[in-house]
Structure 1
Amino acid sequence: MVQKKGKKKSVRKRKTAKTNRKAKGDGFLLSTKRFVVRVLLVTVGIFVGLYLLDYLYPKEPAAAETKRQLAKFFSFPKENTFAFPGETKETATKPVVSRGDVRIEMAALQAKRPEQLIHHEGYSLSYNNDYKIANWVAWELTREEAVSTKAARDGRFVPDPEVKGATALHEDYTRTGFDRGHLAPAGDMKWSAKAMRETFYLSNICPQHPKLNKGLWNTLENKCRAWANQHGTLWIATGPVITEDMRVMGKNRVGVPKQFYKVICYYSHNKYHGIAFLIENKDYGKTSLRTLAIPIDRVEKVTGIDFFYQLPESIQQDMEAVVDESFWF
């Protein structure tokens, strides 16, 4: 009888051990399943979250458009497939595909000067790190843009995030006696809130005599919008006349120009028409704009900048040599 009891106990122990091992195996399997399920749930949650984020906060289309425009600007085709008015495809000399691919408003430095090319939604500029102001700022102004009221004037003066290296700061202008004068005017960018805000980047600002900024310069900006509304698309370039004897101001030594320029062209009646202004950094009182109009090539000589250089040379020569006031005033 004792031997039978011992045998039964031994059998029970083996069964118990086997049961325990099975339970442990089942527990491990269950834990593994739970872990896998949790990982799957977290993964699904992440994908759902990213989808909702993209749905609720889509990427700004303007950024994609800017990249597209920049790609087009820096990768012109080798052969010409479009002729400007007055040319044939055989005689055209510029590598262009269509008017949309040609940035007519762009300028090119001829004088040796620091330059960083920057492109924003509404304008492009050549930035001068030595004087912390632009060499030139250029943009296209259409009739629709000139009359748009989509975006109210809004912005505060801040450094341009695209500028590499030295930059002007808001305080460089404080208590200097000069206004923070826009080059590409905020009034030309009411078609886009982003374009409006970007006109307040300090790369687009120059020290201006307060009565010039609020007077003749403002009159010229308003006149450009009126011309765009009347004639259609204008191509505009503007900036300070940079000279070695310019005074500087502020902690960051911002250049104070003695003169500003603005050059403008548009296409009408099978011809390009151009006009330019050289304006001193002073109060002009009630001076008429008409008395200050000059040919574009005179501004090119003073500034060392080639304006509208992407137009064929023959068209540039004719347009830049004279001002036909009947088309402008």
Structure 2
Amino acid sequence: MEDFPQTPDDDLKESQAVLDDYRSSSSNPEYTKGHLTPVCHQETLHDREATYTLTNIVPQRAASNNGPWSALEKKMLNKIKPHCTGEMYVITGAIPYQNERLLKERVSIPEYMWSAYCCPEYTSTPYLTYAAVGRNDPDSGNDIVERGRNSKGYDVKEMTVQDLENILERRLNMQIMLFRNKCIPTGE
């Protein structure tokens, strides 16, 4: 894998995030590079290295990324993968603030993270599809994920894929179908 250029050209900086956007400063000390495709879900070194591209990264608060969200990623991997007899599909995304917030006035900061899992071929287990939404802002309202007492505000709500699709449809104002064909939710 080729290293990302240390000094990206202006065309690249205009179209996507660059490493400088994530460098800690007094204006953004709490944000980390939150992986959309988790490193822990990859089996080979090449696949793990591929997750470190900036196109797989969003600004995620450290307390979420290293806490409840990381725990969810590991929990889902351990809960679903042993029962998959074929491929396990994972889709992860971010829900932006309704009033955009930017990191270094360039990179959109998500209010919530979401993830959906599907295992179309599985052994005896109740998990065919699964989903969750996690807070990336402890001060967000309770409209998507309620704030718990012991979570410091970075709660993760587990749900069905259909419930996640409904949340995304309401927030993004568009029809959403996360999985097709064999991954269509059945009896969640």
Same fold, TM exceeding 0.5?
yes
Does residue 316 (structure 1) correspond to residue 184 (structure 2)? The answer is: yes
Q: CA deviation at 1:234?
A: 2.4
Does residue 279 (structure 1) correspond to residue 131 (structure 2)? The answer is: no
Q: Partners in 1 of 2:98 and 2:35 — Cα distance?
A: 22
- Report the residue type matching 1:205 in the other structure: I
How many residues end up aligned between the 2 structures?
156
Identify the match of residue 218 of structure 1 among 58, 65, 70: 70
Match of 2:103 in 1: 249
- Report the residue type matching 1:193 in the other structure: L
Q: CA deviation at 1:271?
A: 8.0
Q: 1:172 to 1:275 in 2, by over 3 A?
A: same
What runs of 5+ residues in structure 2 fail to find an aligned partner?
139-147, 170-175
C-alpha contact (below 8 Å) 2:129/2:185 kept by paired residues: no
Deviations 1:226-275 (A, max 9, x none): 12443124221111013542211225x11111111111122434987222
Q: 1:199 to 1:173 in 2, by over 3 A?
A: same
Deviations 1:180-204 (A, max 9, x none): 1111111222x32322222111111
Match of 1:295 in 2: 160
**TM-score, normalized by length of structure 1?**
0.41
Q: CA deviation at 1:302?
A: 2.4
**TM-score, normalized by length of structure 2?**
0.68
Q: 1:257 to 1:280 in 2, by over 3 A?
A: same
Q: CA deviation at 1:294?
A: 1.2
Which one has a larger percent helix, Structure 1 or Structure 2? 1
Q: Partners in 1 of 2:49 and 2:16 — Cα distance?
A: 18
Q: Partners in 1 of 2:103 and 2:31 — Cα distance?
A: 10
% identical aligned pairs: 22
Q: Partners in 1 of 2:101 and 2:114 — Cα distance?
A: 18
Superposed, 1:1-329 pairs within 5 Å as 166-174=15-23, 175=25, 176=28, 177-189=30-42, 191-232=43-84, 233-251=87-105, 253-266=106-119, 267-268=121-122, 269=124, 273-282=128-137, 285-286=150-151, 292-304=157-169, 305-311=176-182, 316-319=184-187, 322=188
C-alpha contact (below 8 Å) 2:38/2:51 kept by paired residues: yes
C-alpha contact (below 8 Å) 2:91/2:116 kept by paired residues: yes
Q: Rg bigger for which structure?
A: 1
Which range is displaced more, 253-262 or 266-275? 266-275
